[in-house]
Amino acid sequence: MTVHLKAEMFQRTGSYKIRGALNKIRMLDDRQRGRGVICSSAGNHAQGVALAAALNGVKAVVVMARNATPSKVAATKGYGAQVVLHGDIWDEANEEAKRLVAEHGYTFLHPFDDIDLIAGQGTLGLEISDDLAAVDVVVVPIGGGGLISGVSQAIKQKFPQARVVGVESSGGPAMHESLRAGHVITLDDVDTTADGLRVRRVGDLTFRIVRDYVDDVVLVTEDEIRDSIVWCMGRLKLLTEGAAAATVAALRHRRIEAPEGSHVVCVLSGGNLDTDQFRALRIN
């Protein structure tokens, strides 16, 4: 097969998240912008919102889990956002963000379950469609589902025969289990070092879009993700965070079915790997 890599670590802020944040903030009216915006994030959405707000002259508050990657916290502050640390996972940070909305009247920017944000993330799929004459399989990581929701719709417009495959960690299979149940479920626990995949509950909107546009959702182990981070550095000379490496892991460990001669796209969603996470990798 021929494998193409959509390398979003070269975006400013180091991930695809700037796409959705820019689109969402530009869709707000003056009243909504004037109240300031708030979001909850593991880190990449935080940086995207912080930069998009700064570029549009809007105040930004970001709620992040206390165990968020330190480099992502520092970068978010560096783009001018006020950072509030709360909870241990995104879901708890999200509840705090909602409380602050009620208290201060901020405009809430959901990290994945928002149609304007999904449309912004979908520009990644439009670029794949513009760049490639043939696409048979597109492999996309799934956290809350915003990225794959946008990409799948964009890809299917031009390449209706293409298969879109989502990848989750086996330690946090929220979308996989929701699809199997036929409705959105909340995981009791999430155990993954890939903060972009660390979500207990996917969005109601993203669940419906994934159900209708995504052909399969596969799981990879934590060891396979870590191994693929190292493999990407050694073979591709690309620094991928865990969520991004998950798509390569799915391909390398044969979770993806593709006929001989296929054109396969792996979406490398970002490269914001903290130095402590890097030191924890097993390098053989």
145: left (phi > 0), else alpha (psi -120 to 50), else beta?
A: left
DSSP annotation string for 19-36: HHHHHHHHHS-HHHHHT-
Element housing 268 (H / E): strand 263-268
Chain-centre distance of CA 18, in angstroms? Answer: 11
Distance CA 253, CA 198 (A): 21
Check 17, 24, 72, 156 and give the catalytic one: 17
Distance CA 196, CA 42 (A): 7
Given 41, 129, 149, 269, the catalytic residue: 269
Q: DSSP 3-state assignment of 6?
A: strand
Is residue 17 annotated as a catalytic residue, yes or no?
yes
Catalytic residues: 17, 269
